[in-house]
Amino acid sequence: PSNKPGATTKVIINVQDQNDNAPIFLTVPKPITLNDDVAIGTRIITLVASDGDGTAPANKVRYEIIGKGKASRYFQIDPNLGEIRIKDDLQNEPENEYQLDVRAYDLADPQQSTIMTVTVYIHHTSTTPPGTGSGFTDDFYTVEVPETAPTNYLIKTFTILSNKLYPLTNTKCVIASGNDKAVFSVNMNEQHNCELHVASKLDHEENSEYMLELQVQSPSPIRPNTRTTTQVKVQVQDVNDNTPHFIYPESSVRFKKEKYFGAVPKNVEGIGDQVLQIKALDKDSGKLGQVIFRIIPDDSGAGEYFTIDSNLGIIRTRRALNSFTEDKLPIRLTIEVRDNPKAEKDFNTARTQVVVNLIEDDDRMVLVIDDKPTEVIHSNEDTLVGILEQQSNMIIGIEKLSVKQYSNDNITLQSDQRGTDLWFYAVDPKSEKIQNRSHSYVYRSLLSQEAVANITLDVATTLHSKASVIRTPIHLATVPTTSVVVAQWEVFPYAFIAIAALITVLGIAAIIYICISWSRYKAYKERMNRMYVMPNYDPVFVEPSLKEYETQVLQMSVPLDDNDSFNDLQLDFSRKNHTFNLDNVGYITKDNSDSTGQQSPVSSGATTIRASTLGGRQNVNNNNLHHSPGVMNPVFDRSDERGNLNSSTSNENVTFKGKKDYSHLGFNYLADRSPIETTTEL
């Protein structure tokens, strides 16, 4: 294995088969020679073709004879097997050769096909001219006849061929087979043709198709190899001639009542409860045999309380039935069934009546079967109903099946899954009303010891089951402690109401507290928005007022700049203060004060500057060397400052005072100062 990174996967490629191969005949047939008296139906050759496609229907091959000549009249091929057979009498034509173009094709779309030509030579053994044969013109016919066709209805006339040598005088046509019930008849008409008639009533539902064999019979000899027999397929067309009929339960049939009987509990206000199911059948086939149901409205308005499924015929309650009074019972409904539902004209209808009783608790009876579960009893309901009806001579209706229930102490209800309780009621066949179980006749025929013994015996004999008793529904006794429990439960609603009221009060108080707190908070926010807070500033240091000094004029010589110095820009990038520096100042001494052009002994680049008081109110012209001395402030006393004066080391005309603190300035003046003091007194 390689250590290089990579990945592998599995790819499944499904190749879809296409119809790209045409059928191919496996063999090339040689020319065939036949006598003209070969019997009809004789197989002369079998062609086989194969298709190279892999899947159906592309590889399914079928055969047919094509062409416009007479070959298709006298020869036929089996589409599945490829067998070519004689179809008609070869003596009818003087042809000596037939070219049969056989096409083999597959069943795909689009089709692929191949054509093979089969040559057939005919050897005529007699000199009978063509057209002299007698008999039926074809060997197979298909005819249709409606099932409502009356007797002697002409179905079809079959032409019989004849000639002068073999006349059809005294010839008759008969049905050789297929007419077992004599439904059809045949006879020869004046033109000596065979007519097929209806002899009795047809019924599509009983038999939709007949296969008849007709034969021509004559007392005189008939030319050999003529078509004296033919096959006729008669198809009976279905007509909507049958009216739907209702299928009634065995109880209705037993009492000869064409009605349906049902019942629902009176004290149940349920909607959609099933009452019963109507069944009907139509003998017609297809859509003609389909049926639908509907409730016919009447003046009583009972139909508004029920609905019916139009296809299934199930009747259900639409509204509560406890509003029906005793004089309006039983409830009667009219049900209509019709066939061919989608037709507007061609349909048949039928009607029946449904009787609905309301069951009360006094009407219920329970047949207890000890050893059969409900599933087994459900499949034998009709048998049990028959036993009860035979014993009571009343219409018995089953309300429900449930698990066997019993009570030993009349307090606790117990169940037994092995048994079944069959709940039923009895209906008087004459009045068609449900009967109370306390009725004398009901008690005598169903609840008495003799009646119960007969019923249990019949159940044991018929169903091999043990029916122990017919009883009334079990009603448990009221336990005294139940009232205490009820009383306790009756207190609970009031406790719940009190708790709910307490929760409501506390909730309202909490809401009020929240509202007050919120209003206070909003007021505080508004008050804070109106308040102005002074910002904090850094301390401000104010220098005391400088003392006033008398103004002196400091003469400084400034050399003239040559032309080169204008063009040569000198930039100083040092950190010292470029605003003012005494190192660059030259002073004019008293010895050479008249030499204005002499350079300063301190700096060759000296400039002339005017010094004035800090107030800046007195100006002195630098060019005026003869000026009057400044005015002294008579109040100012300089005696306290004279002891602090220092003479300049470079100029005896300059004295310096003590140092000043310039740390409050924006630049570092002390770091850049020259040895000469910045404060000068002249």
Cα gap 588→598, rounded to integer Å? 8
366-381 burial code (b ≥16 CB/10 A, e <16): bbbbebbbbeebeebe
Of 135, 126, 127, 104, which is closest to residue 117 (Cα–Cα)? Answer: 104
Out of 237-251, 315-329, 535-549, 625-639, pick the least confident: 625-639
Residue 665 CB-density burial (10 A; 0-12 exposed, 13-18 middle, 19+ buried): exposed
Q: Which of 79, 82, 75 is nearest to 42 (CA)?
A: 75
Asked if the peptide bond before residue 330 counts as cis, ω within 30 degrees of 0, the response is yes
Q: Is the pLDDT of residue 577 over 50?
A: yes
Class of domain 24-123: mainly beta
Is the pLDDT higher at 329 or at 268? 329
CATH topology of domain 361-471: Alpha-Beta Plaits (3.30.70)
Strand-pair category, 280-281 with 306-308 = unpaired
pLDDT band, residue 367 (cuts 50/70/90): very high
Per-residue pLDDT band for 608 (boundaries 50, 70, 90) equals very low
Residue 653, pLDDT score: 63
pLDDT band at 168; cut points 50, 70, 90: low
3-state SS assignment for residue 596: coil
Was domain 245-359 assigned CATH 3.30.365.10? no
Return the domain boundaries, the chain.
24-123, 135-237, 245-359, 361-471
Residue 10, pLDDT above cutoff 70: yes
pLDDT in tens, 645-674: 556 566 666 665 555 555 555 545 445 554
**What percentage of the chain exceeds 90 in pLDDT?**
26
SS3 state at 505: helix
Q: Which CATH number fits domain 135-237: 3.40.50.300, 2.60.40.60, 3.30.230.10, 2.50.20.10?
A: 2.60.40.60
pLDDT of residue 129: 47
pLDDT bracket for residue 595 (50, 70, 90): very low
Is 135-237 the same fold as 24-123?
yes
C-beta of residue 418 within 8 angstroms of C-beta of residue 373: yes
Q: E-strand spans in 113-179?
A: 113-123, 135-136, 140-146, 154-158, 160-161, 172-177
pLDDT interval class at 483 (50, 70, 90): very low
Query: DSSP of 212-276, one letter per residue?
Result: EEEEEE-SS---TT---EEEEEEEEEP-S----EE---HHHHHTT--EEEEEEESS---SS-EEE
The mean of the pLDDT values for the chain is 77
Angle, in degrees to the nearest 10, between helices 381-392 and 449-463:
150
Which element (helix H / strand E) includes 103?
strand 97-106
In the chain, pLDDT over 70 holds for what percent of residues? Answer: 71
Q: What is the mean pLDDT of residues 24-42?
A: 87
> Sign of dihedral through CA atoms 265, 268, 271, 273?
negative
